Amino acid sequence: MLLIFLHFSKLILPLESFLLKSLSPVMNGMYLTSSKIKTSYDKQADKRDLSAIVEQQNTRMNQLIAENSRLKSLEDENRTLRNYLKFLSTKEKKYLMANVISSGSIDLNSQSVLLDKGTKDGLYSGLAILSSEGNIVGKIINAKENISEVCIINASRCQLAAAIQNKEKTVGIAQGDLGLTIKMEFIPQNADIKVGDIIISSGLEKSIPRGLVIGQISHIKKESNELWQAARIEPLTNLEDLVVVSVLLP
């Protein structure tokens, strides 16, 4: 009560002024310190909030990426199936659709894939495997009840009776070359072949008819002192993107 009376009567004004002046630096320091603490706290809170937002956005982005990948896979599969339907509807031969379920080997010299169809579906060794464009991409080399192994045409152990669509209708053997491309050797030196010529199945294999496209000549090796010439063949189908294939039935 006394302090209140003295304050309002201004009797202790000089003392108050002295104390305020003396304590002013301390009060300023405390204010600045509290302001810094508050600012730092606000920044940390903002960082936490921003981190939470970023994490949520990353989670959502990953979900969208996964969903987009799934939709793209479905789109690719639907496109492949549409191409097959378009191809098969114009042919009179019998075909069986099959899914590629895994790679049978990582060795390029024995590269193969596995199909989800087998002997119970009427499959056996020697049948041709076609892409959605109707190109031959391999043949069955081993068939079991529910599964079949297919050698891809660029695998070294895969050989196809082939013919060049030139004037001479030159025949030979097309064989995979280290899983990278296809080669055709022992072509007579006098055979008229050129880059761009189409290589087809010759029809000399029991279960593979003539006329299935194997690929296109991309390079010719011809030496004047040799009896034979050789050609490198590039497949007209991406052999790494085989998901659904058709088996040509007799």
At residue 234, does pLDDT exceed 90? yes
Helix, strand, coil distribution of the chain in percent, nearest 5 = 35, 35, 30
- Dig out the tokens for 23 from the structure: 């304590």
Residue range 159-241 in CATH 2.40.10.350: yes
pTM of the model: 0.64
Read off the pLDDT of residues 119-150 as tens digits, 9 standing for 90 and up: 999 999 999 999 888 899 999 999 999 999 99
**Superfamily classification of domain 95-153:** Rod shape-determining protein MreC, domain 1 (2.40.10.340)
SS (H, E, C) 55-82: HHHHHHHHHHHHHHHHHHHHHHHHHHHH
Of the ranges 30-34, 93-97, 243-247, which one carries the lowest mean pLDDT score?
Answer: 30-34
At residue 65, does pLDDT exceed 80? no
- Write down the domain spans for the chain: 25-90, 95-153, 159-241
Fold matches, 95-153 and 159-241: yes
